[in-house]
Structure 1
């Protein structure tokens, strides 16, 4: 067997607990769901899941070690991701306010929402370091194919996290529908969504490697 059943069960429990802990991915999906509906939230979750595939592959190939050992690489990736998040937030904050603006809003395409989910996840070096620090604890070299073990564990973590985010998207999307039927409230919510993205960018910019 590729995994010891006890070790695998411990991984699943730890992974589910970590996925249930609110973080930037959760906030991103909630903001998208409340701002544009359940479909947008689900697509956001799928974008984040696709971004995680990049980190899984990087961890399996050992590329994540570069971010762990190179301060320059970590800083560059961190700042690119932070600027991207802040830029999205500022775009929302600068858009027109008021009921007439909300009623005339053109919804962001699902493809763009998916792309933003991928980019924000890929450009978060903390995710890469998380996979590099978390997954090895459950990889057993004695069972061989360590790269395959990395991939399988990463996919399990990604799938459970995506299921949780899709559930949140459904719940938040229903609430967001009520907001969109109340234009003045929706205008405020749009500003809040923009502020959330700016805050996520600032949080990413300020966090260190440890």
Structure 2
């Protein structure tokens, strides 16, 4: 079993990592500003589901494939970038009518949830990061390595929910004011489209 002090240290580091500007929290920030706090919280749930997928991949050793295979890494990277470009295209096409005055997201909760999962799962760097990060807190002397990785992954997900949830609530509150203006709605969509396109380019140029 992992000692409490190790779990505590891991949790603190996980919170700091979640606070650091990155594709996922920027994604939550944008979606919350566009669709409200609830939209951001649902996207956060999707992103954390993606973290579970990555944790499982690391536990089963699948992540090693992406670390050692340039073809697998590139294929997943391109798939993720294309998805982000699709989101950017949707955002640029959207007008003021795509956003509502109330805290009701234009997309369904299921669509937002799936969007969060796809955003996270199609980023191969997350699996490679998990492979390098989680392994530092694992010791074969404490028992099953697989169980330890799953526990650490769950703790990381909790830290992510706390940080991204706070981001969603804050951005949702600010976005609620902006969504009352048609011109502000169009600007939000343009900003979102630019962010998605930027994330796509960043993912495409990422190296293992």
**TM-score where L is the length of structure 1:** 0.93
1:129-144, aligned counterparts within 5 Å? 129-144=128-143
Partner of 1:20: 19
Partner of 2:58: 59
Contact 2:99 2:106 in 1 (8 A): no
> Is 1:81 matched with 2:109?
no
Partner of 1:70: 69
How far the C-alpha of 1:187 sits from its partner, in A, is 1.0
Runs of 4+ in 1 over 2 A off after TM superposition: 4-10, 99-104
Partner of 1:11: 10
Residue 192 to residue 148, structure 1, CA distance change in 2 (3 Å): same
CA distance in 2, matches of 1:126, 1:55: 10
CA distance in 2, matches of 1:166, 1:6: 25
CA distance in 2, matches of 1:163, 1:9: 15
How far the C-alpha of 1:101 sits from its partner, in A, is 6.6
List runs of 5+ in structure 1 lacking aligned partners: none
Contact 1:103 1:183 in 2 (8 A): no
> Is 1:153 matched with 2:152?
yes
List runs of 5+ in structure 2 lacking aligned partners: none
CA distance in 2, matches of 1:8, 1:38: 30
Partner of 1:125: 124
SS at the partner of 2:106? Answer: coil
> How many residues in Structure 1 have an aligned counterpart in Structure 2?
206
SS at the partner of 1:177? Answer: helix
CA distance in 2, matches of 1:100, 1:35: 12
How far the C-alpha of 1:143 sits from its partner, in A, is 1.1
CA distance in 1, matches of 2:138, 2:126: 18
CA distance in 1, matches of 2:184, 2:10: 42
How far the C-alpha of 1:91 sits from its partner, in A, is 1.4
CA distance in 2, matches of 1:30, 1:100: 20
Partner of 2:163: 164
CA distance in 1, matches of 2:174, 2:154: 30
How far the C-alpha of 1:102 sits from its partner, in A, is 5.4
**1:77-106: CA deviation from partner (whole Å, max 9, x where unpaired):** 00000110111111111234xx567569x8
How far the C-alpha of 1:64 sits from its partner, in A, is 0.5
Contact 2:49 2:117 in 1 (8 A): yes
**TM-score where L is the length of structure 2:** 0.94
Residue 141 to residue 31, structure 1, CA distance change in 2 (3 Å): same
